[in-house]
Structure 1
Amino acid sequence: MDVEPQALLPTTRRALLHRLAVGQAEGRTPSLVGAVVREGRAVWTGARSMLDDHQPTDDVQYRIGSLTKSFVAVLVLRLRDEGLLDLADPLERHLPGTPAGELTIHQLLTHTSGLAAETPGPWWERTPGELRPDLTDVLGEQPVRHPAGRRFHYSNPGYALLGALVERLRGAPWGEVLRREALEPLGMTRTTLLPQAPHAGGFAVHPWADVMLPEPLEDTGVMAPAGQLWSTAADLCRWAAFLAAGDEKVLGPAAALEMRRPASEPDDAQWTAGYGLGLQVIRRDGRTLYGHGGSMPGFLAGLWVSEADGVAAVALANATSGPHATAIAADLIRIVAEHEPRIPGPWRPLREADPDLLALTGPWYWGAAPFTLRLRGDRSLELTALGAVGRSSRFRAEADGTWTGLDGYYAGEQLRVVRAADGTVGHLDIGSFVLTRQPYDPAASIPGGVDPRGWRTS
C-alpha cells in the first residue's frame, strides 16, 4: 500500500518496499509496517505480511515498547515549562516516600540516576500489573546500582517513577494526562494504553524452526510508563513530525530541541550514541538521528528523525525478536535521503547589513591557527576552522552585544568583541581565548605577549 505515492519517486518507493520485504523475510516476523515522513508530512507507508494479499494498514496498532518513554518525557517537560518542577529537583520534593528520593528528575529522564535496569522478579513485561501494585515493588530493596550522575545506565523503573510523578502533580492517571495534553492536540486518536481493534497480535518465532508462539499481552500497571503504549504507523508519523518541530499546543520548538540533545554532549566527532531527555541519539550512515526504539514481548518498534535530511521513519513488527526495527527505520531514512536528497532553500541576502558586524567577518587567528567568521541571519556568527584541526562553532547574538556558543567546544561560552582605545576592534575573546586579525598580532592584547623580534626563520 502507498499513501500519496506521488510524493516520492517510483524508484524511491520501490527501494523502501524492498527494504521492508527484506526485513520481514530475513527477520521472520509475521508482519512489518514502515512509514516515512518528509518535511513534517507522511509521504509513504508500506507493509509486508506472512499472509498473501493481506498487508496491515497504517491504522493497525502495534505495541511500541520503550518509545513510550518519549511520551512520558514530554509530560515531564510540560510540568517544567509550567513552573511546577525543575529538572534539578530531587524526586522526593514532588514524589515523597520512594527509596529513590534523592535522585533528580533530570537523572531519571536521561538514565543517569544509577537505578537498576529492571525491576525485581518476576519479569515485568510478561507479568500482570496487579502483581506489582506500587512503586516499592518496582524498585526493590536495593534499587541503585551506580552512583547517581556518574554514568549512563538504562533504567525502566526510572520511567515508572516519572509516570508516578506526572500522576502526583496532575492528580490524574498518567495515561489520561497523556491523552488530554498530547495525544488529542496532535490528532493521535489511535495511540492507547491498551490495544484497540484493529491491532496486531504479538508472537515469538522459534529460532530454529518456522513456527510461532503467541505472546501474552499484559497490562503492566505501574511499569506502564516504561513501555505500555500501543500505536499505529500513522500516529507515529504525527509524533515524529512533532518531535522534529515541536507544537505550541503540546511543547514548543525550543523544548523539542532540548529533548534530542545528549545529556552529556560528546565533543568527539567519532561518537555513535547518546541519550537526551527521553530520546535516543545515534550516528548512523554519516548522519545524526534521534528518536527511540522499543520492544515488548511480541513486538518491536523504531522511530528516527534526521534533522539534516528533513526525513523521519517508523518501523513496526509483531515479533519478539528477529527483525531489527530500529535499523530498518534508519535505512528508510537513508534510502529517501540518497534517492531524493533534500533540496535546500534558495540563497537570499540579509535584509539589512550592520556595518559593525560586517567589519567582524573574514579571517581571524587563534595564535597561528586560521579561522573565518561569517555573519548569518539574526546577527548570529559562525566561526569555522580552516586548518586540519580547530574548534568551529555557531554563536547566537545576545542583547548585551555578546554572542553565546551553540555547539561544539564553545557551547555556552561567550564571544566578546574587545575594542581598542580608539574604538576599533582589537581582538575577539572566546572564553579567554584571544583571536586576532593577524597570526599573533603584536598590536593585540595577547596573554604572555608576543616576542618583539617577530616571526623569523630560525
Structure 2
Amino acid sequence: MQSVTMIESWPVPTAAAAVVRADGTVLGSHGPADHRFPLASVTKPLAAYAALVAYEEGAIELDEPAGPPGATVRHLLAHTSGLAYDEMRVTSEPGTRRLYSNAGFEALGDHLTKATEIPFPDYLRQAVLEPLGMAATSLEGAASPARDGVSTVGDLLRFAAELQAPRLLDPRTVAEATLTVHYPGTKGVLPGFGHQNPNDWGLGFEIRDSKSPHWTGSSSSPRAFGHFGQSGTFLLVDPDAGLAAVALTDRPFGPWAAEVWPPFVDAVLAEARAV
C-alpha cells in the first residue's frame, strides 16, 4: 500500500504505520515497525481486553459494582461511571453522561487486581500480551491501565488482527465490546473533537457511528471502532472494509493530528477498496 507512506509528511519526529487484515496479512507498513512508542490512551483497549478475559474466566461480571457508588464494571468500560477525567471525583450519576475518564480505567485496574489477586500489569501480560506474542508491549511508569502502555506497530498489528478474528475471546464478547453501543443516546465530549450527541462507545472502544468531526475520516464505516491517544497514536478497525490500521508517533496529539489523520484513513480505505 502506498497510502501508508503519507506518514512521511506528518510533522512528527518519528512515525510508523501499518494496515492488517483479519488473517494477519499486512497490506502495508511504513516506518520503524519495532520502535517502541508511548501509547497514551491506546492503552485502554488493551486494558479493556484484559477485563473481558477476566469476565470470560468468571473472575468478574460486567454488571457487578466497581468504581464509585452505583457504578459497575460496564460503566467503567463505557466511560459512564460518573468519574471525572483525571481524578477520583464523582461528577454525575452512573449511566447518565459519557464522561471520558482516565480515573475510570484506573478504578477498573484496581478492581481487576482485587478480583484476580494478580497485579494488573501482570494480568494484562498473562491474559493478552503473551498469548498474542506482543513481547515488546508493557505498562511502564505508574503502570496506569489508562495511559502507560508502550508498544510497537508490529505488536499492535497482532492485537488488531485479534480484534477482527478473536482467538482469546468468544467473538460474541468482542462484538459486545466493539460493535454494540452501551448506554445509547448518551452525549459527551470526544477529547480533541468536541461535543458529540450521541457520543457512542462500546466497552473500552469508541464506535464511530455518525460522529462529526471525527479522527477516522469521512469514508470509514459507522461500525468502525478503535481508540486514539494523546501521544499521537491510534488504532482503528473497520469491519466493513475488513482491515485495521495502526499509526504511532512521538508527538503529542494536537491540531496537526486532527488535520492529517482523517485524510490518511480515507486514503488507506480507498486504496484497500480498489484492490
TM-score range, shorter chain: 0.7 to 0.9
Matches of 1:330 and 1:38 in 2, distance apart?
20
* Match of residue 291, structure 1, among 218, 226, 238: 226
Partner of 2:200: 274
* Aligned 8 A contact 2:98 2:199 in 1: no
Does residue 1:318 correspond to 2:250, yes or no?
yes
Partner of 2:61: 86
Does residue 1:220 correspond to 2:142, yes or no?
yes
TM-score (norm 1): 0.52
Matches of 2:175 and 2:258 in 1, distance apart?
21
Superposed displacement of residue 78, structure 1? 1.9
* Aligned 8 A contact 2:60 2:112 in 1: no
Does residue 1:241 correspond to 2:241, yes or no?
no
1:166-205 alignment runs, 5 A limit: 166-194=112-140
**RMSD across aligned C-alpha pairs, in angstroms?**
2.4
Q: Which runs of 5+ in 2 are unaligned?
A: 186-195, 210-216
Superposed displacement of residue 185, structure 1? 0.7
Superposed displacement of residue 39, structure 1? 3.7
Matches of 1:74 and 1:88 in 2, distance apart?
16
Q: Deviations over 1:295-339 (max 9, x none)?
A: 2xxx32111011001111111111124475577555444323322
Higher share of residues assigned helix: 2
1:51-70 alignment runs, 5 A limit: 57-70=32-45
Matches of 1:265 and 1:329 in 2, distance apart?
27
CA distance change for structure 1 residues 39 and 74 in 2, over 3 Å: closer, same or farther? closer
Matches of 1:178 and 1:329 in 2, distance apart?
29
Q: Deviations over 1:362-382 (max 9, x none)?
A: xxxxxxxxxxxxxxxxxxxxx
Superposed displacement of residue 45, structure 1? 1.2
Does residue 1:114 correspond to 2:102, yes or no?
no
* Aligned 8 A contact 2:41 2:147 in 1: yes
CA distance change for structure 1 residues 314 and 89 in 2, over 3 Å: closer, same or farther? same
Q: Deviations over 1:318-361 (max 9, x none)?
A: 11244755775554443233223177xxxxxxxxxxxxxxxxxx
* Aligned 8 A contact 1:72 1:225 in 2: yes
Q: Deviations over 1:252-288 (max 9, x none)?
A: 211111111221346xxx9775211000111442423
Partner of 1:264: 183
TM-score (norm 2): 0.84
* Match of residue 33, structure 1, among 16, 39, 49: 16
* Match of residue 305, structure 1, among 237, 241, 244: 237
* Paired residues, number: 255
Q: Which runs of 5+ in 1 are unaligned?
A: 1-11, 48-56, 92-97, 120-138, 195-218, 344-458
Q: Tell me which of the two structures has the higher relative contact order, counting C-alpha pairs closer than 8 angstroms and 6 or more residues apart.
A: 2
Superposed displacement of residue 34, structure 1? 1.1
Q: Deviations over 1:59-90 (max 9, x none)?
A: 01000011111111112222222233321111
Partner of 2:189: none
Residue 49 of structure 2 aligns to a residue whose secondary structure is: helix
Matches of 1:326 and 1:304 in 2, distance apart?
15
* Aligned 8 A contact 2:229 2:253 in 1: no
Runs (4+) off by over 6 Å: none
Superposed displacement of residue 108, structure 1? 0.8
Higher share of residues assigned strand: 1
Q: Deviations over 1:139-192 (max 9, x none)?
A: 2xxx11012111111111110011111111221211111111111111111101
CA distance change for structure 1 residues 308 and 342 in 2, over 3 Å: closer, same or farther? farther
